[in-house]
Structure 1
């Protein structure tokens, strides 16, 4: 049986300025990769105080909305998380509440307030992706685990205090397979072009 998908977009028209509109898909019982960056790559999370605000709100809203993070990394201007989402409509709520509360509270500690804290120049506040299979989940896990190395913070994620592993990858994948939490059969455009 196919999964119920709720799609949201900022534009009514499917195509906007010659491009397909940017959409968010909310699906029940699904593994998600989520990432968001501060507008203009501003290092809003450079201070320990701002990072503490993020982690406090992240822990609160993921728990409140039924999102189980497997691995999460926070860098000075963005974060990545990979995890299991129980209900699609709660993910929508989680993202609104998480981003709203983080923007408000981090703005309170910044030297000057940042409007459109998360949104880029196209109005995108975050990117979310439903993982299609175990291979994609393993790749997303590794990618989420290692931004400290990619951004020159440190060589080993174990030394970086703002990479948090909640569930070991193989255990998470076994559980997700049992829950049918991958969106199998949906082509992934990036990989299809290479064939």
Structure 2
């Protein structure tokens, strides 16, 4: 490979590391071209699966700021799944394909700025996908909102019941409203007084 081609390949790999949500490193020794095509199809838009050269990939990984743990895994025939979508979905896709095709070996990965070994990638694959988690969160929020709405709807009824209970309690205790006192005779209307004092004809 010419020097210019190597530089271009390193730059492309560095860009992939920097623009991806994560990277899962695998060994593909023994997989046929047809199987590699099937794997890429299965991953779809979730990840871009590329066969890489270890020496160039180490240089690109170093330039992208990946740590030594990840670079130490670059031994033997290597291929990397650059995750473009949900890292959990990509890990599930790789794990499921590896179960059906023993020649694909997951060696580790680099996700969210942290290197992961094969066991950690396997744990990641066991998690629920982002879509499932969001759906569960939305369901929980909807349930809580329904409960809150029911509480708010019940407040006026509960307030009326409480007021009625207090009124009944006061009534039972004899706290009835007193009738207003009769008006004194001196306070008779002025028109009547004037009529009594008028001189007879």
Q: Compare the two structures and name the one with the higher strand fraction.
A: 1
Same fold (TM over 0.5): no
Q: Compare the two structures and name the one with the higher helix fraction.
A: 2
TM-score, normalization by structure 1: 0.28
